[in-house]
Structure 1
């Protein structure tokens, strides 16, 4: 579903950009402009095992509102927060999780026409998440703290002067995560440097400028 939405949006934006190709005038988000946006990501998967009874299903969503201020033409600084929920259910267990994020960011738009821009968003993100499973004899709970610093690419298409559609996908950056659970009774740190552009990390949003 995400891939279909992505391809549809890219096709629509390419068509819109082609219509503006002969017009040299390009979009300017002027200094002093305020900006609010909300990004939403939803995932749902079902798995049916052919040779066992361990069928499973999962559902999750993530919502990230943010606000920003244009400090220079096409350059925005701001702050975002986020909340995510996930549920995994199988024939042997059910687990639920929550996540919370906060991220200051700076975003640069590169106009391709009067309505279309590509963008790069640099951000520092802190995330806290928990996961619990109470179906087993010994209830399991895990807590994680993650730090991310990096750049996320995006596309923005202005429907009119104030309202725009956004899509952000993947990112390039460094992350470090600390895990703690009640079974192993120990802290574990993991870190990685990743370049990731795929539809599993795709977020669509609606923005308002004034």
Structure 2
């Protein structure tokens, strides 16, 4: 008899708990002080071409593979205001056969990689009272370095070029955060309002070393710097 009473009671408790969870899910996640969060984003691209005519040469064969992966852990220090540090790693590899305008064929292969550290402050602006949609405005300091190698073979002569780069800057990346499940969100950002300084040094076979120092100021939204990622808030 007791067992017959306990089973329906357990079912009612379970349904009540599920109903409460569903309610919490529908309300989204408030971004309050003391919340830890982390996001992971991955981007990749590839290109395969044949007889691609460019301004100064024709790419008889072309193959490119590249990817970027980024991790952004952080902490909410005040309601709707967080701080954190982003870690980014990127890699790219190109293999080409080029035909110059004067009829010379060259095999050009290159590879490079980079690593960036990006401390940031992120503002969250809620849209409505559901705590499911937020406008996010990360402002981040970018510090990065990378290196690469380029090998060009023309008429059996191999030329190698080694590149080392160091760059730093400041950028805003506005976007939107949408919670698609309890504590689990989807975030999209675009590059905008950036300023940077880059220093690149080159060592090329049988040529003097070179050094190039450039500065850039970007006051426009760059849709080509679109990043997509998933976030966890606990």
Asked whether the two chains share a fold, i.e. TM above 0.5, the reply is: yes
> How many Å separate the matches in 2 of 1:161 and 1:129?
38
2:87 is aligned to: 81
Structure 2 equivalent of residue 157 of structure 1? 178
Equivalent residue in structure 2 for 1:30, among 18, 29, 32: 32
1 or 2, which has the higher strand percentage?
2
Residue of structure 1 in register with 2:160 after alignment = 139
1:90-129 CA-partner distances (Å, limit 9, x unpaired): 1121111100000100000111132111111111011111
Match of 2:62 in 1: 56
Instruction: Give structure 1 regions of 4+ aligned residues with deviation exceeding 6 angstroms.
Output: none
Establish whether residue 105 from structure 1 lines up as the match of residue 125 from structure 2: no
* Counterparts of 1:77 and 1:57, CA distance in 2: 39
Distance 2:59 2:180 in 1: 49
Whichever of the two has the greater Rg, that structure is: 2
Question: What does residue 41 of structure 1 align with?
Answer: 43
For residues 153-182 of structure 1, the C-alpha deviation after alignment (integer angstroms, 9 at most, x for no partner) is 111100123100011112211010000010
Name the Cα RMSD after superposition.
Answer: 1.9
* Pair 1:122-2:139 in alignment: yes
Counterparts of 2:191 and 2:216, CA distance in 1: 15
For the Cα contact (< 8 Å) 1:101–1:125, is it kept in 2?
yes
Show the counterpart of 2:218: 194
Q: Is the 8 A contact 1:54 1:90 kept in 2?
A: yes
Query: Does the CA contact (< 8 Å) of 1:170 and 1:195 recur in 2?
Result: no
Q: CA contact under 8 A between 1:55 and 1:90: conserved in structure 2?
A: yes
The runs of 5 or more residues in structure 1 that have no matched partner are 1-24
**Deviation per CA, 1:31-52, whole angstroms, max 9, x where unpaired?**
1100111111112223332564
Give, in whole Å, the separation in 2 of the partners of 1:134 and 1:93.
Answer: 6
TM-score (norm 1): 0.82
Distance in 2 between residues matched to 1:85 and 1:40, nearest whole Å: 12
The answer to whether the Cα contact below 8 Å between 2:28 and 2:182 also exists between their aligned partners in 1 is: no
